[in-house]
Amino acid sequence: MKIAYTGLDLPQGKIKFNDEIFVGLVKKFQPKKVSPYYFEFFPDNYELADLIMINNECLLDLLILDIEKIEGRLTRTKDPFEKEVLEKSLVQLDDQKPICDLRWDDTEQAVIKALGLLSRTPTLVYEETSADITLICRDGMKKASMMFFYTVG
């Protein structure tokens, strides 16, 4: 999983996820080969990210990029449905909340997806600038609706 971050004290590069379930299975079954999961952390490159982690003081920098896209599209569109979706999105962004936290039906989702909004990517906002990397990875998995399946053989 690729994670873009801003305003947080996180290591850059690939980080092995220390999953206690995985470690427990390795101890129990002692396989010849193990393949741990790695998270890749990189600063600021939101376009390539599967997940965005950002400090609340930097959140507006991310949201402004989406606000500009939506306002530009609002001036050009004639479709009333698209305008409604864009205005709903703008209210969310004005409240300083990322687009990923809104629930959309399939037709609304298509409008939002076409815009390529950065905050549509699962986004976690942190008050603190430093945290335990294992907890950060767990939070990210939950936000991105990601889970592991383990096999032993």
Across the chain, mean pLDDT equals: 94
**pLDDT tens across 35-44, in order?**
899 999 999 9
To the question of domain 2-143 being in CATH 1.10.150.300, the answer is yes
The pTM (predicted TM-score) of the whole model is 0.90
The amino acid at residue 128 is E
What value does the CA radius of gyration of the chain take, rounded to a whole number of Å? 19
Q: Provide, rounded to the nearest whole percent, the portion of the chain with pLDDT above 70.
A: 99
The pLDDT of residue 152 is above 80: no
- Model confidence band, residue 149 (pLDDT cutoffs 50, 70, 90): confident
- Model confidence band, residue 153 (pLDDT cutoffs 50, 70, 90): low
Least confident of 20-24, 65-69, 74-78: 20-24
Rounded to an integer, what distance in angstroms lies between the CA atom of residue 112 and that of residue 129?
Answer: 30
Report the first-to-last Cα separation within the chain, whole angstroms: 25
Torsion-angle region of 59 (φ positive above 0: left; ψ -120 to 50: alpha; else: beta): alpha
